[in-house]
Amino acid sequence: MLHRPLIVAAALAAVLGTAAPASAKIVEVGRTDAAPACPDNPCLAVSRTTGYQVKVGDERGAFVVPEDGKIVAWSIALGKPTAEQTSYFNKNLGGAPAARLTVLRQGKTLYSRVVTQSPVQQLTPYLGQTVQFPLGRALNVKKGYVIALTVPTWAPALTQLLTDHSSWRASRGRGKCNDTGTQTAQMTLKDVAQYRCLYKARLTYSATLITRPVPNPDASGG
């Protein structure tokens, strides 16, 4: 697991330059504090889609960017499937586990457009860990954007079904919610998809946001 304070300190130096660090905030957008399903039975995984968390329990907005700023890292809590489970997913879902962070701008009737994305990360070396990936190029974000997880193959970053009102949406169309094998992941900038499918579980990922620094009030008196 990567060391978060070192990553954030380096990101602050790169992003803020000579600005006073106290004038910006470090905010974790999203949550990784739930246990992924794998290797339990059933071993559930996010598969070939882009998804974002709508509610964590009764809390809304945990995955919505609260202020303008830059995403400098992202984290994902991964289950550790058995060798048999891993082989099944690899064979049926397009290859080894992989994921990337995606930033969405939401529109009407559940449509969302890709604003920016991180590089795709291969996840096999990190199964069973909560791992943080620093970004070589920070992602510019605005207040109200939604932080999503894009999985072109599969990722054990999903809890068992829950009854606490938690829910997430996937970029699948009407009537396709049970079709978890067809590729619907949003992999290109400006791509638009409709998020018709709602699932009662939690995705286990987050993003590290550094908000824009606030300049001192003009004290020159005019």
Distance between CA atoms of residues 198 and 169, nearest Å: 5
Distance between CA atoms of residues 185 and 49, nearest Å: 4
pLDDT digits (tens, 9 = 90+) for 82-96: 999 999 999 999 999
Among 116, 219, 218, 109, which Cα is nearest to 173's? 109
Which pair of tokens denotes residue 147? 């932080």
Q: Kindly tell me the sign of the dihedral angle through the C-alpha atoms of 5, 73, 148, 38.
A: negative
Give kind and range of the element (H or E) at residue 90: helix 83-92
3-state secondary structure of 136: strand
DSSP class of residue 124 equals G
pLDDT digits (tens, 9 = 90+) for 96-138: 999 999 999 999 999 999 999 999 999 999 999 999 999 999 9
pLDDT digits (tens, 9 = 90+) for 134-191: 999 999 999 999 999 999 999 999 999 999 999 999 999 999 999 999 999 999 999 9
- 19: confidence class by pLDDT, cuts 50, 70, 90: very low
pTM equals: 0.88
Q: Taking a C-beta distance cutoff of 8 angstroms, is the pair 98, 152 a contact? A: yes
Distance between CA atoms of residues 202 and 179, nearest Å: 19
- Using the predicted structure, report yes or no on whether residue 13 has a pLDDT greater than 60: no
Q: What is the pLDDT of residue 1?
A: 46
